[in-house]
């Protein structure tokens, strides 16, 4: 076979291998994005699983808190873990004050959220509590004292506050924490944040 034919065949094969490798490593864009976010700003969402099987009485609040985060950030997506599978966010009901491990949690790692009834007994909103504690798992510290418009102001906003939606700054911080997908995530802080007033 002439040298030119070998060269063409080798070049075509190399191009085919590169094209297939690119297709195999490309990550799909998320199916959802917060309002106002351009498709260019989106990256593949990091999926985090949660287990709320030990959070009896909090199911509706957890579902609403999860929905709030999923509707407001696109770089991370929270899904319920299938029974018997590991979860990155373990949610339990307790009798104390709500508390959580400060993230951002990575896939395959684990943080804990404790939804304490003591806050509910004092009049705090369950959905706000759940969304706030999930915010800790996603890497947000408390911003106390703070207004009701800041989800991470927690109990300092007062028991009448029912806002369970992260504000623009909070959304931006979570988006940044998960901006480059799994590889660039910093490890979870590991501190336990207790949300007593």
Per-block mean pLDDT, blocks of 10 residues, the chain (197 long): 44 37 32 44 80 97 98 97 96 96 92 97 98 97 96 96 98 92 53 60
Summarised one tens digit per residue, pLDDT across range 29-41 is 334 444 444 443 4
Is 88 a known active-site residue? Answer: no
DSSP string, the chain: --HHHHHHHHHHHHHHHHHHHHHHHPPPPPS---TT--GGG--PPEEEEEEEEE-TT-HHHHHHHHHHHHHH-SSEEEEEPPTTS--SEEEEEESS--EEE-SPPPTT--EEEEEEHHHHHTT--HHHHHHHHHHHHTT-----S--TT-GGGGGGG-TT----S--HHHHHHHHHHTTT-STTPPPP---EEE---
Summarised one tens digit per residue, pLDDT across range 134-154 is 999 999 999 999 999 999 999
Q: Which of 88, 114, 133, 170 is catalytic?
A: 133
pLDDT, averaged across the chain: 80
């Amino acid at each position: 076979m002439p040298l030119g034919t070998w060269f063409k065949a080798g070049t075509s094969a190399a191009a085919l291998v590169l094209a297939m490798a690119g297709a195999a490593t490309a990550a799909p864009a998320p199916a959802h994005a917060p309002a106002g976010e351009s498709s260019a700003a989106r990256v593949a969402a990091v999926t985090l699983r949660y287990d709320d099987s030990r959070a009896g009485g909090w199911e509706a609040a957890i579902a609403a808190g999860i929905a709030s985060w999923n509707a407001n950030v696109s770089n991370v997506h929270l899904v319920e873990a299938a029974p018997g599978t590991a979860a990155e966010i373990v949610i339990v009901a307790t009798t104390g004050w709500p508390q959580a491990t400060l993230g951002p949690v990575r896939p395959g790692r684990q943080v804990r959220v404790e939804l304490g009834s003591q806050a509910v007994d004092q009049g705090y909103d369950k959905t706000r509590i759940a969304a706030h504690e999930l915010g800790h798992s996603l890497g947000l510290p408390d911003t106390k004292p703070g207004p009701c418009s800041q989800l991470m102001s927690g109990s300092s906003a007062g028991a009448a506050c029912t806002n369970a939606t992260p504000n623009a700054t909070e959304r931006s911080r979570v988006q940044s924490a998960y901006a480059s997908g799994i590889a660039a995530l910093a490890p979870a802080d590991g501190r336990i944040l207790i949300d007593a007033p």
